[in-house]
Amino acid sequence: MAPSCNHNQNHSQNGQFLPQEVVVVVVPFPAQGHLNQLLHLSRLISAYNIPIHYITTKIHSHQVNLRAHGFNPLSTNNIHFHEFSTPVFNSPSPNNSNSSVKFPSNLTPSSQISSHLRNPVAKILHSLSHKNRRIIIIHDSLMGSVVQDFRTIPNAEAYTFHSVSAFTLFLYVWESIGRPFAIDTDMIKELPSNEGCFSPEFEEFMKSEHEYSMFNSGKIYNTSQAIEHTFLDLLSKEQISKGQKQWALGPFNPVVIQGTHQQRHKSLVWLDKQVPKSVIFVSFGTTSSFSDEQIKEIAIGLEKSQQKFIWVLRDADKENIFSKDFIKKIELPKGFEERVKEKGIIVRDWAPQLEILAHSSTGGFLCHCGWNSCVESISTGVPIVAWPMHSDQPRNTVLITKILKVGIVVKDWARRDDLVVSTEIEKAVRILMASEEGEEMRKRAEELGFGVKKAVGEGGVTRKEFDSFITHITR
């Protein structure tokens, strides 16, 4: 999608906003899970006829647009993409399968790359400040240093976007400021530690970036009162919020899916032929890699489970996904694909996850519990087999399995260095897909998904919160 240079007139249907009164500048962290969430949010804000300026590197702009799905591409015609070249950094191999810290080392260069966006962002902000009454900056919590120059612009204000669950964020802040008030002990019983979730370098980077949020006017979350009202209430407490406003505007992804491909992906064509709720979707996001031995155990476990499946089998993203560097083809046990050809399909490239989850034949999701995947699964009413890898995923797993009760764990965080053997995978898949316990989870997931759809609909709690946010920034 090429950068757009036209400037749309900023009229709302009720005539509330004037031409070019307010523009929104969106600055995502350059990693797929972050880019994707903020592109979806940009699309939602632009539906209010507010121009969006989405700023990232050339590579990451191309990446997020190439992978966008679940909505009509024409709905981004009020989003202006600003793409900047940045220096090339050595990007370590994404294969972190044998390391004691599972956090993907290839994400560390993203933090170095992003620092080079500060000057281009400042120039765009100053330029826009002369043409508009107000500039609203929505930046990833990891991009505070990049947008810091907004403080020199009188008609600019900034909002921090947090790409994780309210549950995970609340616990992180609550623990870091010394647990200033008591909470329900069930919530923190068997809570996994943060040990091993991030590399030491990335932890330092996160801490340094969070310092910048004190200058902001509020926080935005990709969650909903329908999913996490308890934790949103806790985040709003004065000791945590420090008086900043907060908005739960999620889920950002569409809850009613529109196909975006003229030629449907092969996985969707295959799903059309399956029985409702009969297929488990297996995908571990863009930042996780497995050892050859673990791949073999997953394959045997899926085969023995006798359940139908779609397995996205690809290595973690490199820093530049378009690089021509050698990509290792992941080997499967001999004869596996031939034996399971009636039961499942292997996808070795990018898959339209949201469309797969929304398909009537999909009945479960074996995943890493990244927040994008959790929100997409919840909003489509699909229960989860959780296998956390790093970052916020271990605590998202607690939210999914113990609090919302819409999933089960296949690998506990305490056993993160262990090989998960095929019998464990087979058992977890069978429980979710072919047992009464799994059926109960599916019903709860469907009820939660229905609640989310209601929340984003006319008069729903999320729609009201979104209207409130738009009223606030255009005041």
Strands 218-221 and 156-162: parallel
Write down the pLDDT at residue 198.
84
Q: Cα–Cα distance between 60 and 296 in angstroms, integer?
A: 32
Distance of CA 169 to the CA centre of its chain: 14
Confidence of residue 62 (pLDDT cuts 50, 70, 90): confident
Write down the pLDDT at residue 6.
32
Of 99-108, 118-127, 175-184, 333-342, which has the strongest mean pLDDT? 118-127
Q: Cα–Cα distance between 61 and 50 in angstroms, integer?
A: 20
Classify domain 266-453 at the CATH class level.
Answer: alpha beta
Write down the pLDDT at residue 86.
73
pLDDT surpasses 60 at 32 = yes
Please report, for residues 114, 158, 319, the alpha-carbon distance to residue 89 in angstroms, rounded to integers and kept in the order given.
Answer: 11, 29, 9
Q: What is the mean pLDDT of residues 356-370?
A: 96
Write down the pLDDT at residue 3.
37
How many percent of the chain have pLDDT more than 90? 56
Least confident of 99-103, 200-204, 254-258: 99-103
| Active site residues per annotation | 34, 140
Q: What is the mean pLDDT of residues 240-257?
A: 90
Q: Cα–Cα distance between 395 and 82 in angstroms, integer?
A: 34
CATH of domain 22-254+456-474: 3.40.50.2000
Average pLDDT, the chain: 86
- Single out the residue of 474, 451, 455 nearest to residue 464, CA to CA: 455
Q: Give me the half-sphere count of Cα atoms (radius 13 Å) on the Cβ side of residue 261.
A: 15
Q: Give, in degrees to the nearest 5, the angle at Cα 454 between 373 and 35.
A: 30
Write down the pLDDT at residue 12.
43
Q: What is the mean pLDDT of residues 376-387?
A: 96
Check residues 11 and 384 and name the one with the higher pLDDT. Answer: 384
Q: Which position has the token pair 């990232």?
A: 56
Confidence of residue 206 (pLDDT cuts 50, 70, 90): confident
Please report, for residues 109, 116, 452, 457, the alpha-carbon distance to residue 27 in angstroms, rounded to integers and kept in the order given.
Answer: 17, 13, 26, 27
pLDDT surpasses 70 at 459 = yes
Q: What is the mean pLDDT of residues 20-31?
A: 89
User: Which residues lie closer than 8 Å to 88 by C-beta, 6 or more apart?
Assistant: none
Q: Which position has the token pair 């399909």?
A: 345
**Two tokens, residue 165:** 């669950």
Q: What is the mean pLDDT of residues 36-48?
A: 92
**Two tokens, residue 446:** 């469907």
pLDDT surpasses 90 at 36 = no
Confidence of residue 5 (pLDDT cuts 50, 70, 90): very low
Write down the pLDDT at residue 1.
38
Dihedral in degrees, nearest 10, Cα atoms 72, 78, 81, 82: -170
Write down the pLDDT at residue 105.
65
Greatest Cα-to-Cα distance within the chain, rounded to the nearest angstrom: 66
Write down the pLDDT at residue 106.
61
Q: What is the mean pLDDT of residues 346-357?
A: 90
**Domains in the chain: boundaries:** 22-254+456-474, 266-453
Report yes or no: 96 and 289 within 8 Å, Cβ to Cβ. Answer: yes
What is the total residue count of the chain? Answer: 475
pLDDT surpasses 60 at 261 = no
Confidence of residue 17 (pLDDT cuts 50, 70, 90): very low
Task: Let me know if the fold of 22-254+456-474 is the same as that of 266-453.
Answer: yes
Instruction: Give this prediction's pTM.
Output: 0.89
Strands 279-282 and 245-248: unpaired
Q: What is the mean pLDDT of residues 202-229?
A: 91
The answer to whether the Cα torsion of 243, 248, 249, 251 is positive or negative is: positive
